Structure 1
Amino acid sequence: MSTKRRDTSLVARPQRRGDAERLPRGRHGLTREEVSTSQRTRLMDAMAELAAEKGYANVTIGDLVARGGLAKRTFYDYFPDKDACALAGAEHFAEKILATIIRPHDRELDLYSRVQASVNRMLEVFAQHPTYSRTFLVEIWATGPKVIARRLDVDRQIARLLVALSQDVSAHRPEARAIEEAHALAVVGAVNETLYRVVFLEGAENLPRHADKLIRVVSGLLMAQMPTTPDRRPPRSRRGQDSGAKK
């Protein structure tokens, strides 16, 4: 009697940490786009993990393909160098952060409640992705200028989003007021300092423990009144005054 051989084409290999996107061996029925997305994501995940573990400067392309379970030539199908891989990972993570700020927005809530919702969700995302958090907040400053420029651009995007949200609320609630971009950037800077210190010293998993303090800081800064620029007209010269008096 013949026995049927077990079809192992759909059986995935055992997974290790950071291997969640690994594809099964053999025929898998996935589209080329799905395979491409999986491979690209695995490389970005590998970058986040390795940069968090050993520092960005010490990560090599060989490390990335080994962690991702890919051939080196596959890396170059997606990225010209490791900075480009880090930039893609930063873009990927930035989208998650921006989404958390928009999602809980409700103009009917008071300012403190809106800040509370946004900060809590943001810290949850950081805590759920500790390697991306460390790479995005700490190790990113060791990357090339393009990646750092994108990181700074994310801060400006968040600031402009805060301005837009404040304008939306103030348009519907007379007691609310809109803020300027410089004001919003100051708020973002204060948040970044807290995130950086906690992630560097304690790890991203501990960020939710600092939520109450950060909510109070952000609320207070958003409610603060920015001073207006004083009207400083240049004084008339003494010589002009004297000559006028003589006439």
Structure 2
Amino acid sequence: MPATEIRCRVENAMAALTAEKGYAAVTIDDLARAARISKRTFYDHYAGKEDCLLAAYESAAGRVLDAARRAADAAAARGEGATARVEAVISTYLKALAAQPEMTRVFHVEIQAAGAEALRRHLAVDLRYVALLQRIVREDGGTLSRAGAIAALGAVHELVLHAVAEGRTARLPSLLATVRPILHAVLPAARGAGTRSRASN
């Protein structure tokens, strides 16, 4: 069996089992059984349970971030300003989370039980989004501070966390309407630049 298929099976099993019973209760036996592999095969690919969780997180987070970047680039190709491009990023992010409820629960709730390295990885992913938002604004002739980008993302994360905890994951895309005024508050320069850009076309 190809290594990529094995890792996909195991990481999907990690998400499903963690969502079902909590990270602390998941065992290597559980993962091997759910992925239909031996424990030896599991250890050929992962150092242990935490390594598996972190790999699953990195993989899922990378896919969502790639989709968000594509959405922002598509909006730019349509001549949209920075605010519309940032909204495209957030909208794509929320839709991706709604489409993967198990992954979303694991990586917004259960990940907090996985220790310091999990937190470090989570913050590193956040900083990739910060860099994306700053790039979008910069390309539109505006400026966005690191703190401003973190504040906007923090609002999104908190809304997602509460929605997931309350069983409203499927409704995550509707949060864009709640987040929009916050985006407008932290993107004043970008909003002006985007307006000028559209007016000049």
Instruction: Give TM class, smaller chain.
Output: 0.7 to 0.9
Gaps of 5+ in 1: 1-31, 171-176, 226-247
Cα distance in 1, alignment partners of residues 58 and 177 from structure 2: 28
Code of the aligned partner of 1:100: A
Query: Which residue number in structure 1 is paired with residue 34 of structure 2?
Result: 67
Say which of 115, 131, 141 aligns to 2:112: 141
Query: How much does 1:117 deviate?
Result: 2.1
Cα distance in 2, alignment partners of residues 223 and 62 from structure 1: 53
Cα distance in 2, alignment partners of residues 74 and 206 from structure 1: 38
Query: Which residue number in structure 2 is paired with residue 190 of structure 1?
Result: 155
Matched, 1:121 2:88: no
Query: How much does 1:224 deviate?
Result: 8.3
Cα distance in 2, alignment partners of residues 68 and 121 from structure 1: 29
Identity of aligned residues (%): 34
Query: Which residue number in structure 2 is paired with residue 201 of structure 1?
Result: 166
Deviations 1:27-63 (A, max 9, x none): xxxxx6xx21111111100111111111111111111
Code of the aligned partner of 1:186: A
Larger RCO: Structure 1 or Structure 2 (Cα < 8 Å, ≥ 6 residues apart)?
Answer: 2
Say which of 150, 157, 171 aligns to 2:128: 157
Give TM-score, length-normalised by structure 1. 0.70
Structure of higher CA gyration radius: 1
Cα distance in 1, alignment partners of residues 145 and 116 from structure 2: 27
Code of the aligned partner of 1:70: I
Query: Which residue number in structure 1 is paired with residue 137 of structure 2?
Result: 166
Code of the aligned partner of 1:84: D
Aligned-residue CA RMSD in angstroms?
A: 1.8
Query: Does the CA contact (< 8 Å) of 2:85 and 2:136 recur in 1?
Result: no
Give TM-score, length-normalised by structure 2. 0.85
Gaps of 5+ in 2: 191-201
* Structure 1 residue ranges (4+ consecutive) displaced by more than 3 angstroms after TM superposition: none
The number of equivalent residue pairs is: 186
Cα distance in 2, alignment partners of residues 60 and 86 from structure 1: 12
